[in-house]
Structure 1
Amino acid sequence: MHDPTIVMIHIIIGSIGLLGGFVSLFSTKGSKIHKNGGWIFISGMIVAIISTLMFMRDNFLPLAIIMCIASFYLMVSAVTTIRVKSRWAITLDYIFLIFPLVLFVFPLMNMMRNLPDFTFVSLGQIVLSLTFLYCVIDDVQYLRRLKKSQTPNIGRHLFKMILAFTFGIMAVLRIGVKVDFIDLEFTVIVPLIVGMIIALNMKRKFPIIELSS
C-alpha cells in the first residue's frame, strides 16, 4: 500500500507540472509564460519521477521505469540544448547519450524475446524502440554539429520537451487512470505517435540558424 501523502503529492504536483507543460506548449515560444510554464513542467515531472520510484518499492513496473528514465533524459537534453554555451551542458549531453541507447535496446530485446509471436504488445515495443533510435541518431548528429557551431537549437529543445510531455500523458493514461475500454498498449502507441508527429513538426518549424562569427 502506497503512502497516501506521497500519492497526494504525486497527483497534485504532477498535475501542476503537466498543466505548466500544456501552457508552455501553447504559449508564444521564448515568452516569459513559455519559460515559466516549462520550468513548472520540469519541476513537477521531477517530483512525479521521484515519487514514482518510491512507489516501485511495493510494485515494480518496468514501463514506469522506462517512462521515468525517458522523461528525465528528455528534459535534461531540452535544457542543455538552450544552455549550449555552458561546458557542463555539453558534458551532460555526452553522458546522457547512454539513456536513449538503453531505451532503444530494452524494448527491442523484450520484443525479440517473445518472437515468433507478434502481438499488439510487440507493436508498442517497436514504436518505443524506434522513438529512441531516432533520439540516438539525433543526439549524435547534434553533438557532431556542436564541434562546428554552438548555436542554440530551439527546434531540438522543443522536440525534447514535447516528447517529455508525451511521456507524462502516457503515464497518466497507462498508470494513473483505469479505463476499461482503453487497451494498455493503446496508451503507449497512440500518444507516442501523436507526440512524435507534433514534436517533429515543431522541430521543422524552428530550424538551426547558424550565426556568423
Structure 2
Amino acid sequence: MDNQISLHSVNILIHVICGLIALLLGIVILVAKKGNKTHIKFGRIFLVFLAVVICTGLVGAIVFRGNPYLLVLTILAGYNGFSGFRTMKTKSNKPKLLDVSVALLSLGIGLYFMDYLKSTELFWNPTVIYSTFGALFLIVGYDLIRYLIPSKSYKALWLYEHIYKMINAFTALLAAAVGTMLPNYKPYSQLLPSIFGTLLVIGFMVYFYRKRNVRQTSA
C-alpha cells in the first residue's frame, strides 16, 4: 500500500511539473513570431511535455483511480495538440490511418468516461464537464468530416485549424491547472481560461486573415 501511495505521488509530481513546463512553453509559443525557428522548436518541445502529461494522466486515472474528468480534459488537450501538429505537418485533409485512428480512439474514450461520470458523484460543475465533452466531440467530429471538404478549399483553412487546435490544447491545460489550484472559485476558475482561449483564437485568426488578404492584394 505504501509503495502504491509513493508511486502515485511520483506520478502526480511528474504530471504537475510537466504540465507547468508545457504551460510556460505555450506562453513562449504564443508570443514568438509565428513560423520562425523558435516557434517551431518550442512547439515540438511543448508536444513532448504534453505527451508526458497525457501518459501520467492515464496512469493516474486507470491505475490509481484518480479524477476521470481531469483525464478527459487532458485528452482534450492532447488530441488538440496531436491534431494541430498533424494539420501543420500535412497541410492536407487527405485521410490518413493514423489521424482517423487517434480521432476514433479519443471519441471512444470521451464517450466511455461520459457514461462513467453519470454513475459517479460529480466533483466538478456539470456545466464545465459537459462543455468539455462537447468541445472534445466537436473537434473530433470536425476532423472526421473535414475529409469531405474539397482539397482546394481546405488549403485556405488548415492554418486556422492549426491555430484553433494548438491554442485549445494550451487552454485545456490551463483550465485543468487553474481549476485544480483554485477549487473554491469553480466554475469560474475553469470557464475563464476557456473564454481566454476563445478570445486568443479569434484574435489570431483575424490577424492572419487580414495578413493573408494584404498579401493577396499586394500581389
Deviation of 1:22 after TM superposition, in Å, equals 0.9
2:93 and 2:146 in contact (8 A); partners too: no
The CA distance in 2 between the partners of 1:44 and 1:29, in whole Å, is: 20
The CA distance in 1 between the partners of 2:193 and 2:165, in whole Å, is: 15
What SS does the aligned partner of 1:60 have?
coil
Deviation of 1:174 after TM superposition, in Å, equals 2.7
The CA distance in 2 between the partners of 1:103 and 1:195, in whole Å, is: 24
Give the paired residue count.
Answer: 199
The CA distance in 2 between the partners of 1:141 and 1:88, in whole Å, is: 11
Partner of 1:54 in structure 2?
59
1:64 paired residue among 55, 65, 70: 70
Q: Which runs of 5+ in 1 are unaligned?
A: 115-119
Partner of 1:159 in structure 2?
164
Cα 1:153–1:27 change in 2 (3 A) is same
Partner of 2:129 in structure 1?
125
Partner of 2:39 in structure 1?
34
Deviation of 1:69 after TM superposition, in Å, equals 1.8
- Which runs of structure 2 are paired with 1:179-198 in the superposition (5 Å)? 179=182, 181-183=184-186, 185-198=187-200
More helix by share: 2
- Which runs of structure 2 are paired with 1:1-40 in the superposition (5 Å)? 1-3=5-7, 4-40=9-45
Cα 1:96–1:9 change in 2 (3 A) is closer
Cα 1:133–1:5 change in 2 (3 A) is closer
Q: Which runs of 5+ in 2 are unaligned?
A: 213-219
What amino acid sits opposite 1:50 in the alignment?
C
Partner of 1:203 in structure 2?
205
1:83 paired residue among 85, 89, 97: 89
The CA distance in 1 between the partners of 2:47 and 2:69, in whole Å, is: 20
The CA distance in 2 between the partners of 1:196 and 1:110, in whole Å, is: 28
User: How many percent of aligned residue pairs carry the same amino acid?
Assistant: 23
What amino acid sits opposite 1:13 in the alignment?
C
What SS does the aligned partner of 1:29 have?
coil
The CA distance in 1 between the partners of 2:184 and 2:69, in whole Å, is: 20
1:43 aligns with 2:48: yes
What amino acid sits opposite 2:185 in the alignment?
I
2:83 and 2:99 in contact (8 A); partners too: yes
